[in-house]
């Protein structure tokens, strides 16, 4: 059964500094990876999707995937206080409709 783990549990960065979040998964056949952001009392906002090894950039958000290492990361360039939220990693496999989520990283960006 797929296991998805995120680190760190919480992260505080200064405004403008790079924020890096990590996600490891257990099933090497996974091929759909997404990063979502969850603000309190709001739905999940999709930030970036990645399907093959390498890098995918969406604005200030960049995902790096290394399936051999069972690792996908999210880097946030020039974070703002409004980026403070819980960031969730979601993993799925083609042909499988469900996502398996990590527990999340709570990011706080201080001015």
Partner 1 sequence: GPKVLQIPSHQIIDMGQMVTLNCDPVSNHLYFYWYKQILGQQMEFLVNFYNGKVMEKSKLFKDQFSVERPDGSYFTLKIQPTALEDSAVYFCASSSRDWGYEQYFGPGTRLTVL
Residue 92 engages partner 1 in binding (rule: CB under 8 A):
yes
Alpha-carbon span 11 to 108, nearest angstrom: 6
Parallel, antiparallel, or unpaired: how do β-strands 32-38 and 71-76 relate? Answer: unpaired
CB-based contact 31:70 (threshold 8 Å): no
CB-based contact 104:38 (threshold 8 Å): yes
Residue 97 engages partner 1 in binding (rule: CB under 8 A):
yes
Residue 88 engages partner 1 in binding (rule: CB under 8 A):
yes
Residue 32 engages partner 1 in binding (rule: CB under 8 A):
yes
Question: Cβ 18 to partner 1, closest distance in Å?
Answer: 25
In order of 3, 5, 95, 101, the CA distances from 17 in angstroms are 30, 24, 38, 26
Q: Could you say which of 42, 52, 59, 68 contacts partner 1 (CB under 8 A)?
A: 42
For partner 1, which stretch binds (CB under 8 A), given 13-21, 59-67, 70-78, 102-110?
A: 102-110
Q: Could you say which of 35, 36, 61, 87 contacts partner 1 (CB under 8 A)?
A: 36
Q: How many CA atoms lie within 13 A of 36 on its CB side?
A: 17
Residue ranges binding partner 1 (CB under 8 A): 31-32, 34, 36, 41-46, 49, 88, 92-104
């Amino acid at each position: 059964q797929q296991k998805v783990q995120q680190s760190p549990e919480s992260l505080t960065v200064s405004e403008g500094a790079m924020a890096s979040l990590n996600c490891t998964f257990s099933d090497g056949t996974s091929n759909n990876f997404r990063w979502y952001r969850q603000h309190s009392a709001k739905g999940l906002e999709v930030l970036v999707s990645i399907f093959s090894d390498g890098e995918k950039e969406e604005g200030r958000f960049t995902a790096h995937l290394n399936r051999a290492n069972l690792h996908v990361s999210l880097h946030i360039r020039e974070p703002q206080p409004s980026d403070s939220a819980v960031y969730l990693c979601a993993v799925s496999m083609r042909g499988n409709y469900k996502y398996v989520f990590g527990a999340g990283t709570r990011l706080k960006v201080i001015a």
